Structure 1
Amino acid sequence: MTHSEFLPDIDAIRSIDAVPVILSMVKHLTGMRFAAVARVTDKHWVACAVDDSIDFGLQPGGELVLESTICHEIRQHRKPVIFGHATAHPIFSLHHTPKTYGLESYISIPIIKANGDFFGTLCAIDSVPANLDEPAIAQTLTLFAQLIAMSLDTQNQLKATKLQLNDANELGRLREQFIAVLGHDLRTPLSAIRMSADLLETKTADKRSLNLISAIRNSSTRMGVLIENILDFARGRLGGGIPVQRKLVDDLQATLQMTLEEIQVSHPHVTIIHSLNLPAGVYCDALRISQLLSNLLGNAVTHGSTTPPIILSAYSENDEIVLSLTNQGTPIPAQLMPLLFEPFTRSEAGQRSEGLGLGLYIAAQIAAAHNGTLSVSSTLESGTSFVARFPAQFKWL
């Protein structure tokens, strides 16, 4: 029976989308048939996530006797342990762990959080030997362990941030520290994960491996979007609003077309009927308007029905630029409408928890930064429609 004190750790690992892909990649890269993320304390070894092809018998929440594991030693010295052939190894041929569990190959990488706390290990085992001499294996698994640690840190930081945001006296300090953490400490390891995926892609032609690499890249991209959304939230709520750099642009329509195509490629099962008819010389921040459209499309794809097509229109009307997006699905409840453009309200409204509930808030802030508006209507007959409007030209106030 799992100790209740470890349920939050198991839930935290379960909520990291990339973990199942990471465990599958660990098995593929090492040739081993069991991989896991373990929580390791001074008294317990608890499995948080498992990918088992050898019927080892562990499930999330399952425990091993701490002293029977090598992870117990790793917790003390905080260094990886790797061997591919235990019975031929000068040290591990005599070690009690391979003998106890019948192991020949083993790799375990410590997961250490940003504050130096030891969380546990990313590990793989097998009863048959494996070739683990290639340095890229240890390097790649170390990057995976860093990604898991970074994700755990992000979860903790977000929880702490929601509590801190209730205290207006802490806003100044929070702005400086929070933006610094997001802008550097989270982006740096995320860049390492992306580069690692790119490197792996150049070294294999195996279709399954390429699919797994693509999944890692997609997960890191999604995490990057979350980080950027939180940065925008921090700037919008804690600073002077989401920054925009407005200028006359002649290619706003082309920019929005690229955004539309990116969403379509990411969601090939969704049909988007669009009509883009925008003039040249629009006074705006084209990248921010593109972000506004991306957030609206992402919201429609995630929360609307994917069977009827999404209808998108962009046009000029009465010296204003209008972006209109309509999708079908269950109407938005009336009690949710006042909260729709507020941050961190999705779970309170009982919606699915993809993302952080910041997309519509940021879209509304971008519209406001352009002296415009973002409105919504939702009925069973007409569907849910978001309409953004902002002046097409600069106006003296």
Structure 2
Amino acid sequence: MTRPAATAFPTPDDLFENAPCGYLVLSEDGTIRMVNGTFCRWLSCARAELVGKRIAARLSVSSRIAYETHFMPLLRLGGASHEISFDFLDAGGGAFPASVSALFCPAGEQESSIRLTVFPAVQRRRYERGLLEAREASEVARHSELETGKLREQFVAVLGHDLRNPLAAVSAGIRALSREATTERGARVLVLMEGSVQRMFGLIENILDFARARLGGGIVLTQCITDQLPAILSQVVDELRATNPDRVIDASFDLRTPVECDPSRIAQLVSNLLGNAISHGAADRPVRLSAVSTASGDLTVIVTNEGPTIPPDAMDRLFEPFVRGASSGYSEGLGLGLHIASEIAKAHDAVLDVTSEDSVTSFRLRLSAVRAS
């Protein structure tokens, strides 16, 4: 069917016949009474093949169901229907995707009629199909990642648990050897070995805590009202001094009031913060630890080191797992220490924050005696 040449100022008939959309007029029972040339060309049909036929006969099976059960009832009820997706069948039986809007014109002096506009929807369908496929692919990838992550965390938990037994045997052997007569050089080697073992124990505990948190167990607390924090934190400092003999750790405690907490977890938090400060602080400057309890039982712990300021973009990710600093010469650790410290603080309904400016970085734990319910 050849499209006639358009004139500069189309007549109403030409505007109907050669509009950039399909126009149809149906009787109330869906019989085609008028159809423009545009729609005929799209379906590669002669006008005589369409006029007088039910429009449902030119719809795919699924579109015919939608036409009978949704389109026509909605049209009769509301008088209009907009942007309904249909697949028309062309002369060869192929699908022509379209978006249809309709207006119901009730009977007046003439019989009732239905006026349709039809727009091609090939690109729209392709876009919608692409969106659907992308969403399905995203869901598959997400579920796969969740399963992979769960298996990885279970593996890490099992591995961390199984490593503790042989490591405990190594630690016991080192302690047994340290009680025997040995050379000064041998004694220094045993101290270094014990420091390495303790560092490995710390890494394993961090791994296990991380795995428990990710697998839904969370950080487990055994809380009590304790006045033993000075002794417990002093032991943490002594252990770190022993394993880092070239570093200065200044500690001051004003813990005359008992505090309700999990003492071992607070010790772990402080150990992680001190270890982070030692790793990333200036080697020739001391690391400072202060812990204060108030008469009401509030606890404040501050760990400070001097050295490079933490960049603002790194501050936002500082407590995320597996985020490691970029300090010169530092390559050990898994990047879990600060994350575990943050999780311990959350488990206590406490706040752990950080400031870093003028070459001074401070981590502060604030644990209130009045907890959120």
Bin of the TM-score, shorter chain as denominator length: 0.5 to 0.7
Which residue pairs with 1:354 in the alignment? 332
- Matched residue SS, 1:167: helix
Pair 1:286-2:267 in alignment = no
The question of whether the paired residues in 2 share the 8 Å contact of 1:175 and 1:239 is answered with no
- The within-5 A match list for 1:1-397 is 167-170=145-148, 172-184=150-162, 186-202=163-179, 204-316=181-293, 320-346=298-324, 352-380=330-358, 383-393=360-370, 395=371, 397=373
Distance 1:165 1:282, change over 3 A: farther
State the 1:225 CA deviation: 1.7
Task: Choose between structure 1 and 2 for higher RCO, CA contacts under 8 A separated by at least 6 residues.
Answer: 1
State the 1:203 CA deviation: 5.2
After TM superposition, the score normalised by the length of structure 1 is 0.52
Distance 1:354 1:266 in 2: 14
Name the aligned partner's letter for residue 299 of structure 1. Answer: N
The question of whether the paired residues in 1 share the 8 Å contact of 2:305 and 2:362 is answered with yes
Distance 1:378 1:309, change over 3 A: same
Identity %: 39
Which residue pairs with 1:131 in the alignment? none
- Matched residue SS, 1:335: helix
State the 1:305 CA deviation: 0.9
The question of whether the paired residues in 1 share the 8 Å contact of 2:349 and 2:372 is answered with no
Name the aligned partner's letter for residue 178 of structure 1. Answer: V
Name the aligned partner's letter for residue 273 of structure 1. Answer: D
Distance 1:377 1:302 in 2: 17
Distance 2:329 2:185 in 1: 33
State the 1:221 CA deviation: 2.3
Distance 2:251 2:174 in 1: 34
Distance 1:253 1:207 in 2: 32
The question of whether the paired residues in 1 share the 8 Å contact of 2:153 and 2:214 is answered with no
Distance 1:246 1:211 in 2: 38
- Matched residue SS, 1:363: helix
Count how many residue pairs are aligned between Structure 1 and Structure 2.
231
The question of whether the paired residues in 1 share the 8 Å contact of 2:227 and 2:258 is answered with yes
- Matched residue SS, 2:304: strand
Distance 2:315 2:143 in 1: 23
Distance 2:216 2:234 in 1: 31
The question of whether the paired residues in 2 share the 8 Å contact of 1:252 and 1:280 is answered with no
Distance 1:266 1:329, change over 3 A: same
Cα distance per residue 1:63-98 (max 9 Å; x no partner): xxxxxxxxxxxxxxxxxxxxxxxxxxxxxxxxxxxx
State the 1:330 CA deviation: 0.8
After TM superposition, the score normalised by the length of structure 2 is 0.56
- Matched residue SS, 2:311: coil
Distance 2:322 2:185 in 1: 37
State the 1:351 CA deviation: 7.9
Distance 1:263 1:293 in 2: 11
Distance 1:380 1:177 in 2: 42
Superposition RMSD in Å: 2.8
Cα distance per residue 1:149-175 (max 9 Å; x no partner): xxxxxxxxxxxxxxx998223455555
Cα distance per residue 1:237-271 (max 9 Å; x no partner): 22232111111112222222222222233323333
Cα distance per residue 1:21-47 (max 9 Å; x no partner): xxxxxxxxxxxxxxxxxxxxxxxxxxx
Larger-gyration structure (1/2):
2
Which residue pairs with 1:6 in the alignment? none
Name the aligned partner's letter for residue 316 of structure 1. Answer: S
Distance 1:174 1:197 in 2: 32
Distance 2:335 2:217 in 1: 21
Cα distance per residue 1:122-152 (max 9 Å; x no partner): xxxxxxxxxxxxxxxxxxxxxxxxxxxxxxx
- Matched residue SS, 1:315: strand
Distance 1:260 1:280 in 2: 20
Distance 2:334 2:269 in 1: 16
The question of whether the paired residues in 2 share the 8 Å contact of 1:346 and 1:352 is answered with no
